[in-house]
Structure 1
Amino acid sequence: MFPKKTVLSVAGILAATLLASACSSGDDAGGTAAGGPGSNQSATPASVSIEPADANGVSPTTPIVVKAANGKLTGVTVTNSKGKAVEGKIAADGLSWTNSEVLGYGGTYHVVAHAQSADGKPVEKAGDVVTVSPKKQANANLIPAPSAVKSTGVGVGQPIVFSFGTAVKDKAAVEKALTVESSPKQEGSWYWMDDKNVHYRPKEYWQAGTTLTVSAKIYGVDFGNGVFGAEDRTETYKVHDSWIAKADGSNEQMQIFHDGAMVKTMPISMGKDATPTHLGAHVISDKQANYTMDSCTYGVCPPDPKAYRSDEKYSQRISNDGEFVHENPNSVGQQGSSNVSHGCINLNAANAQWFFQNFGLGDVVEVANSGGPQLPVWDLYGDWSKSWTDWQKGSAL
């Protein structure tokens, strides 16, 4: 039996040995604790996505977007079928790339993207984006032609018209792409006259001096039935000072207002009972110093008693069914006393020339007490025949 002191010494040695062994666990294998410095566990690999992914029939205005996750993009190339690169840029954070160049119709675009994960491992992703091939492309034709009124401007009654030349099935989609910005600002709205033509007018006549910026951002817009917008268009119109004529069939007089002030009164002869002049606001759409008026142009031909053909001077069209303001020496005796025309507003030579010199496209002729029906909204510029509430109902939105 050992002495007590000797037993305690052996126990202490055993405890010290166990403690040292616990503190150095794993060292003999040459490893490290999980997740510590020098760990051989790899980082999460980077991934790349292409949007729209392997898409067919995409609108050319839909952007190609390349995105990286768990890493950053190091390079992206997009080329068309001819090998031409599409311009684009990687975002400052390296997480995305978007094309800055608009794509074309009927194109195949090959996308190759490279990215790198946090541990430097590269990743590559490739894909194709195919844009739609329209059956037909529609242009946004503007009326009046901006070139025709560049030097003169337009009158306060001028509607803005887009004529597409082909039927529009999805009117709402197209209308969303159309804008008219007025300075000073005025409330306005679109009205679809038919499947091909849409008009824009303000609630009230344009303010004199207004600038109108008209845009059709229709490229890539689906009109329906395989028709897509051909190209975007933006034009500017200037509204000149206000010229409004008020023609009254009850006294055969026409008062002329310039910027709200009456400046002249002239005797007139309007449409006779068989061919009365339409009521309401008319807008001048054309002016010719010499013009042959032929009722056959709107379907009234001999032997119809309403048919006519004559050469007239200082003629300004106010509707599309043969109504003009013009000189007529044959009715001078009736001007100021009776209405004898085929629907036109007749003037004597001096007044017709004065009117021709001062009035032009977009200026207004308001007709009252003619005995005729209201000018139809579809009759060229019958836009002002509708109340504002009814006009707004013609919008597709």
Structure 2
Amino acid sequence: MTNSRRRKGLTVASALLGGVLVLSACSSGGDDASAGDGGKDTSQAKVDEAAAEKTSEAQIKITPKDGSDNASINNSAAVTVSKGTLTDVSMTTADGTAVDGEISADKTSWKPSVQLERSTTYKLAAEAKDADGRVAHENASFTTVSPTNSFIGTFTPDDGTTVGVGMPVSINFDKAITNKAAVQKGITVSSTSGQEVVCHWFNANRMDCRPDDYWQENSTVTLKLALDGVEGADGVYGVQQKTVTFKTGRNQVTYVDAKTKQMKVTQDGKTVKTIPISAGSPDNKTYEGQMVISEKFKETRMNGATVGFTDDDGKGEYDIKDVPHAMRLTTSGTFVHGNYWGADSIFGSVNTSHGCVGLNDTKGANDPDTEGAWFYNNSIVGDVVVVQNTGDKTVAPDNGLNGWNMSWADWKAGSAV
């Protein structure tokens, strides 16, 4: 055989042998390799199966979702888990300050134990285990609603207080409300007396709520603010979620008669005391109408310049730095207060004030036996003072807490729902 033939023979043999080796390599799986997988390599499938066996079944959910903005300061930052239990949850602000929170007794949920701040970015990291002890992790970051994009309502009276039967619920919003119906639907006022309560909008920033007549004495009134997430104006959302309760005391209504210059104090319809007074002078008449005591001061300063009473030099016509036993009736500056600078003879005989109702009193507000002290000590915020026969106009319903000077029909007409 020639060398060329020998080389050809070796080449053919090598090719055949190589083919056998290749076939041997592909068939190394034996019978399993031909069981319907078309010759597919099963090594990756086994890796995937092994990884699946190591993955935790615990499913962690964080709300709001990662990247949210304008998030609620009340209902955000909730963590829940299914098919497992929470083992650790941490919440921090962007600067690393920790936020207190608590995992539930059954270890399936977590929430912060403090109210969140507005315009703040928070980060949440949660860890859970499934029944086999396999660990799962979840992280999220969100930003709460900013002051620019949110509104709050400042309300009166305060939670837990006892007030007079004339006290309305008055809410002043820090942003103009254009979606009045939506906001009003998020506010409910009810009383154990069962009286119907209607809310009235004086303007875009103020809403008061009251019954047809004064509250019944010794009842409990509940204000519920469910404003979280309510859109009060375009792009402006509520953040409050709060329940407030207050009680009404005895039914005290005081009648001031500028003509007789006497003040009659009644409780539950019975006169308990008559006090001589000095009301507004003929040039500075006192408003007429039903007024509600909104503030009390044992002593306060009264400067005429703050309410428009100035002399030719622009100074206040009066500036008394220690007016005793003062109780506010209007925002514009009408008070019932003690008077120590007037002669005793004016009370019950002549009207001399710049529009307030004055009672005989002493300087320093320390004499409990004066008429001014008696009325102050026996009055509470929310008591009604009805001023009559002054010759002046009726006080505006929104000048103070004086919506009682509006008819029930007109009051209901100011409701947005």
TM-score normalised by the shorter chain: which range applies? 0.5 to 0.7
Residues 81, 261 of structure 1: CA spacing in aligned structure 2 closer, same or farther, 3 A cutoff?
closer
Show the 5 A alignment for 1:196-235. Answer: 196-235=205-244
- 2:400 alignment partner, SS class: coil
Tell whether 2:281 aligns with 1:269: no
2:407 — aligned with what?
Answer: 387
Q: Which moved more, 1:345-354 or 1:138-147?
A: 138-147
CA distance in 2: counterparts of 1:352 and 1:316, whole angstroms: 10
What's the counterpart of residue 141 of structure 1?
Answer: 154
Q: Corresponding residue for 1:22? A: none
Distance verdict in 2 for CA 1:294–1:62, change over 3 Å:
closer
Choose the corresponding residue for 1:308, options 304, 318, 321.
318
Please state if 1:370 is matched with 2:385. no
- In structure 2, how many angstroms separate the alpha carbons of the residues matched to 1:74 and 1:58? 31
Provide the rounded CA distance (Å) in 2 between the counterparts of 1:246 and 1:394. 28
Q: Equivalent of 1:326, from 329, 334, 337?
A: 337
Deviation of 1:298 after TM superposition, in Å, equals 3.1
How far residue 209 of structure 1 moved from its aligned partner, in angstroms, is 0.3
Question: Is the CA contact 1:317–1:324 (under 8 Å) kept in the aligned structure 2?
Answer: yes
Change (3 A) 1:292 1:207: same
Distance 1:296 1:194, change over 3 A: farther
Q: What is the alpha-carbon distance in structure 1 between the residues aligned to residue 110 and residue 70 of structure 2?
A: 16
Give CA deviations for 1:36-62 in whole Å, capped at 9, x if unaligned.
Answer: xxxxxxxxxxxxxxxxxxxx9898699
TM-score (norm 1): 0.67
CA contact (8 A) 1:190 1:392 kept: yes
CA distance in 2, matches of 1:359, 1:143: 17
Indicate how the Cα distance of structure 1 residues 322 and 58 shifts in structure 2: closer, same or farther if over 3 A, else same: closer
Aligned structure 1 segments of 4 or more residues deviating by more than 4 angstroms: 56-63, 79-82, 99-102, 104-109, 130-135
For residue 338 of structure 1, the aligned residue among 314, 331, 350 is: 350
8 Å CA contact 2:190, 2:197 repeated in 1: no
Deviations 1:311-343 (A, max 9, x none): 311111111222111121305322212211111
Q: Decide whether the 8 Å contact of 1:164 with 1:197 is kept in 2.
A: yes
Q: CA deviation digits over 1:175-209, x for unaligned, max 9? A: 10001110121112111122212111111001110
Unmatched runs of 5 consecutive residues or more in structure 2:
1-67, 77-81, 93-102, 125-139, 362-369
What is the 5 A alignment of 1:26-65?
none
* Alignment partner, residue 249 of structure 2: 240
RMSD: 4.3
* Equivalent residues of 2:158, 2:244 under 8 A apart: no
1:228/1:245 CA distance change after superposition, 3 Å = same
The counterpart of 1:282, out of the listed 286, 291, 302, is 291
Distance 1:202 1:331, change over 3 A: farther
Is residue 2:209 matched to residue 1:195?
Answer: no
Q: Which residue of 1 aligns with 2:64?
A: none
Contact 1:191 1:395 in 2 (8 A): yes
Q: Secondary structure at the match of 2:198?
A: strand
Query: Counterpart of 1:289 in 2: which secondary structure?
Result: strand
Identity of paired residues, percent?
31
Give yes or no for the alignment of 1:162 onto 2:154.
no
Equivalents in 2 of 1:295, 1:378: separation in Å?
22
Which residue identity is paired with 2:328?
Answer: R
* Equivalent residue for 2:188, pick from 176, 179, 185: 179
